[in-house]
Chain A
Amino acid sequence: MTAKIAGAVLLALLFCVPFAVQSEFWLSFWLLVLMYAFLGQSWNVLGGYGGQFSFGHALFFGIGAFGTAILQVRHGVNAYAAGAIAIALGAIVGGAVGLLVFRYRLRGAYFALVTLAFAEVARILISSFDYTGSGFGMLVPLARGVANFQFEDRRVFYVIAWVLVVIGALVAWWLENSRFGARLMAVRENEDAAQALGIDLIRTKVCAITLSGAMAATVGVFYVQNFLFVDSHLAFGPAMSIEALLVSIIGGMGTMFGPLFGAVVLHALGEAAKQITGNAPGLNLAFYGLLLILALRFLPNGITGLLSRHPARRSPESTHA
């Protein structure tokens, strides 16, 4: 409960940022934090609530980003329609990967490896064709205007990102208070028992990965509209996948505001490390690795666990009436 109040307060404060902060740098910083918080939430739906640890969420992000970029650049589709189609594509690819992977009962490390492989294959394919921008990426032509989903004022994008995070929190709330969510968590906790109680494992997991794919693709669409550029390494590379899982794990898996806490802390620390080390290349990944180890060792329930009055729901003393 404490964690939920803290999360709501943090969300309210974040809404004020564009009106309180003048610096372009800090606006961009908080914008990225929100974007990664929603990406983390997409991972959290599948990994945190469903227990299926994807190591390739970049696949869905990339589908969203390249989907909308290709539709706009190559086919002249309106930015909003392109975005909607790209999000639907993210859902479809999510469902297809899920059907393939869960039908063959891949779990745990095998699931993680297969998702990583899918993302890598997508990265290589996208880099191989002119149609998809080869290795150079896709540049969406600058044409400011509401009709093109391009806003002069960065604060509009900021508010959109904030709304996405709110939607993400509502999705998590729905999972915690619905039949689907109850079934998803049952599958996470024990597949045999879930099956015995009438839960269709494959269907439940495929639904979760479909939702997760659509959410991650939404971040890709948002990214492209904001930066008007995307390349295959950025979109499908492992760094994006790690970002998605890391903010969720550090913040607290299977919690409503975990990914938001994770994104704030991770990026605050990351920025600080950058300032100190003078932006040495590759250092951020080493830093992330270190943080992950520390988080798993000292904060198995993430930042949310730290805030919660019942830190580990697994600990024996956490009884309350």
Chain B
Amino acid sequence: MLEVRELSKRFGGIRAVDSASLDINEGEIVALLGPNGAGKTTLFAAIAGFVRPDAGSVRLIGSDITGLPPHVICARGLVRTFQIVQPFGALTVRENIAVGAHLHHASRRQALTRAEEVAEQVGLAPRLDQPAATLTVAGRKRLELARALATDPKLLLLDEVMAGLNPTEVSEIVPVIQAIRGSGVTILLIEHVMQAVVSLAERAYVLNNGRIIASGTTAEVASDPQVIEAYLGHGAAARVQSRLEARHAP
């Protein structure tokens, strides 16, 4: 579905993304992990056309989308959400979602009807007529998701849809995302909430300093020494290992 090959983006002297490659198959939920500043959001932006990569290629369902403008990529079926939510503040929730629905529906009425369906799907139905600016953080995250979903994407790039949510809210949104995948949408998500990652994603890639340092099942990458070092610092893997061994010793 998505093939990213040797994608690089530098800002001045910093290699924000350094020849990163990843593959996503149809129907999967894949997580993109990594410590703060690893380059996850830049990688998303480069895939979705918000920043032009310096090198490498992105293919979506077999066709090259490298460096295309975001609205064209969206029309091809790849849509991203933003880590820092970007609601259309003065518009109502219904109008917000309808903007996404208009990608495939020229008629205002159809777009508004579609918006209601999507709101139902993500649990925003009671808030349809509320201005987006009045939503709580959890509500805004759902709105990000709903608008993206309304474009009927084939591939959804979710940038930390659970950051800032409390554990109850996280446990509410997990089944929503599972249901989205169930409806045939492939998902790549950036997430720090490990509880959610483990319950959602089958596979994960780990990015550090712009490079993919590990990939595999979520359990595999979570115990990968390189990953532990990336998160906890040099030597951490050895300390964790010895702590574990000590605990298991008779």
Show the binding face of A for B, using Cβ within 8 Å: 177-179, 182-183, 185-186, 189-190, 192-201, 254, 313-316, 318-321
Task: Please tell me if the beta carbons of B82 and A193 are within 8 angstroms of each other in the complex.
Answer: yes
Show the binding face of B for A, using Cβ within 8 Å: 48, 50, 69-71, 74-75, 79-82, 86-92, 95, 98-100, 102-103, 105-108, 111, 129-131, 133-134, 147-148, 150-151
Task: Please tell me if the beta carbons of B71 and A182 are within 8 angstroms of each other in the complex.
Answer: no
- Hey, which chain A residues are within 8 Å of B151, CB to CB? 197-198
How many angstroms from the CA of A198 to the CA of B74 in the assembled complex? 5
**Sampled A-B contacts (23; CB under 8 Å):** A182-B98, A182-B111, A185-B91, A190-B86, A190-B88, A190-B89, A193-B82, A193-B87, A193-B88, A194-B88, A196-B81, A196-B82, A196-B148, A198-B74, A198-B100, A198-B103, A199-B71, A199-B99, A254-B90, A313-B91, A319-B134, A320-B129, A321-B129
Identify B50's interface contact among A177, A192, A197, A314, CB under 8 A.
A192
Task: Please tell me if the beta carbons of B108 and A179 are within 8 angstroms of each other in the complex.
Answer: yes
Whether A189 touches B111, Cβ cut-off 8 Å, given contacts A196-B82, A197-B99, A320-B129, is: no
A192-B82, A199-B71, A318-B131 are known contacts; what are 16 more A-B pairs with Cβ within 8 Å? A177-B108, A179-B108, A185-B88, A185-B95, A193-B82, A193-B147, A195-B74, A196-B80, A197-B99, A197-B103, A197-B147, A197-B150, A198-B100, A200-B71, A254-B90, A315-B134
- Hey, which chain B residues are within 8 Å of A200, CB to CB? 69, 71
How many angstroms from the CA of A182 to the CA of B133 in the assembled complex? 17
Task: Please tell me if the beta carbons of B134 and A197 are within 8 angstroms of each other in the complex.
Answer: no
- Hey, which chain B residues are within 8 Å of A190, CB to CB? 86-89
Whole-angstrom distance between the Cβ of A191 and the nearest chain B Cβ = 9
How many angstroms from the CA of A185 to the CA of B102 in the assembled complex? 13
How many angstroms from the CA of A314 to the CA of B111 in the assembled complex? 23
Compute the total of residue contacts between A and B using a CB distance below 8 Å: 97
Identify B102's interface contact among A177, A183, A189, A196, CB under 8 A.
A183
Whether A178 touches B129, Cβ cut-off 8 Å, given contacts A189-B88, A197-B103, is: no
Whether A313 touches B103, Cβ cut-off 8 Å, given contacts A179-B111, A192-B86, A196-B148, is: no
Whole-angstrom distance between the Cβ of A312 and the nearest chain B Cβ = 9
Task: Please tell me if the beta carbons of B131 and A313 are within 8 angstroms of each other in the complex.
Answer: yes
How many angstroms from the CA of A194 to the CA of B102 in the assembled complex? 11
Residue of B nearest to A198 (CB): B74
Task: Please tell me if the beta carbons of B88 and A316 are within 8 angstroms of each other in the complex.
Answer: no
Residue of B nearest to A181 (CB): B108
Residue of A nearest to B85 (CB): A193
Whole-angstrom distance between the Cβ of A99 and the nearest chain B Cβ = 16
Task: Please tell me if the beta carbons of A189 and B82 are within 8 angstroms of each other in the complex.
Answer: no
A-B pairs, top 5 by smallest CB distance, nearest first, are A189-B88, A198-B74, A193-B86, A198-B103, A195-B70
How many angstroms from the CA of A168 to the CA of B134 in the assembled complex? 31
- Hey, which chain A residues are within 8 Å of B74, CB to CB? 195-198
- Hey, which chain A residues are within 8 Å of B100, CB to CB? 197-198
- Hey, which chain A residues are within 8 Å of B86, CB to CB? 190, 192-193, 196
Whether A182 touches B134, Cβ cut-off 8 Å, given contacts A197-B147, A197-B148, is: no
How many angstroms from the CA of A254 to the CA of B90 in the assembled complex? 11
How many angstroms from the CA of A179 to the CA of B95 in the assembled complex? 11
Task: Please tell me if the beta carbons of B99 and A183 are within 8 angstroms of each other in the complex.
Answer: yes
How many angstroms from the CA of A307 to the CA of B133 in the assembled complex? 21
Task: Please tell me if the beta carbons of B88 and A201 are within 8 angstroms of each other in the complex.
Answer: no
- Hey, which chain A residues are within 8 Å of B95, CB to CB? 182, 185
Residue of B nearest to A177 (CB): B108
Task: Please tell me if the beta carbons of B148 and A198 are within 8 angstroms of each other in the complex.
Answer: no
- Hey, which chain B residues are within 8 Å of A201, CB to CB? 71
Task: Please tell me if the beta carbons of B133 and A314 are within 8 angstroms of each other in the complex.
Answer: yes
How many angstroms from the CA of A321 to the CA of B130 in the assembled complex? 8
Task: Please tell me if the beta carbons of A189 and B91 are within 8 angstroms of each other in the complex.
Answer: yes
Residue of A nearest to B80 (CB): A196
**Most chain B C-beta atoms within 10 Å of own C-beta, residue among A182, A196, A313:** A196
Residue of B nearest to A189 (CB): B88
Task: Please tell me if the beta carbons of B106 and A179 are within 8 angstroms of each other in the complex.
Answer: yes
